Amino acid sequence: MVLSNETDTEVFQVLRSGNLLALGIFYDRYGEVVYRVALRMLGNAQEAEDLTQEVFLTLWRSGKYDSKRGSMLVFLTTLTRSKAIDRHRQIKAQWQRLQRWSRNVPPDNSSNLMDKVSLEEMSQRVREALAELPPNQKQILEMSYYDGLSQSEISDNLNMPLGTVKTHKRKGLLYLRQMLQDLVE
């Protein structure tokens, strides 16, 4: 069977059966459109390339396309738009975390040089310990403590079961406690 001559619905059925050549067919047909939508929304070529790859991987992994609801082109552009909006939200949340963090940093006119050095040392140790966490644990702790989100809100934002969010948060906190034990005592 020559896939390039088949309809989108037929190619999608081949993709669902595990044939990755079908993904290449979709990329050939719609990759440029997806990239252009991503570029227009994100304004950055590298981000647009990453998002384009993410969209096609989502198509491959999810298998949620329904030809009765619209064409593959509409499905992919809607998915691209949705993921671009998510990226904007993620960037905004990171920016807000940085702003909150910068507001919480004490002013430079601390009582003495030793206080400044000690505070900088502790901050550095906390950053290093956070960097050692698995990505899910780190993201959940940042969303909880920097963004002030509840575990339910984190669960909704990450599309992750609440129990999993709680487990990642607890494991991350236990690890940080162990790594920073001398700072806590």
- Residue type at 165 in one-letter notation: V
Give the helix ranges, DSSP H, for 105-146. 113-132, 135-145
DSSP state of 146: T
Taking 80 as the threshold, does the pLDDT of residue 162 lie above it?
yes
Give the residue carrying structure tokens 């990171």: 94
Distance separating alpha carbons of residues 44 and 39, to the nearest angstrom: 6
Under 8 Å between Cβ of 137 and 172: yes
When pLDDT is cut at 50, 70 and 90, the band that residue 27 belongs to is very high
Mean pLDDT of 122-142: 85
pLDDT computed for residue 28 by the predictor: 93
Instruction: Return the C-alpha torsion angle 47, 53, 57, 60, nearest 10.
Output: 140
Distance separating alpha carbons of residues 140 and 127, to the nearest angstrom: 15
Q: Which own/partner contact pairs does 163-169 have at CB distance under 8 Å and 24+ positions apart?
A: 165/140, 168/134, 168/136, 168/137, 168/140, 169/137, 169/140, 169/141, 169/144
Distance separating alpha carbons of residues 86 and 80, to the nearest angstrom: 10
How does pLDDT run across 43-85, given as a tens digit for each residue?
889 999 999 999 999 998 887 887 888 888 999 999 999 999 9
* Least confident among 7-16, 30-39, 76-85, 108-117: 108-117
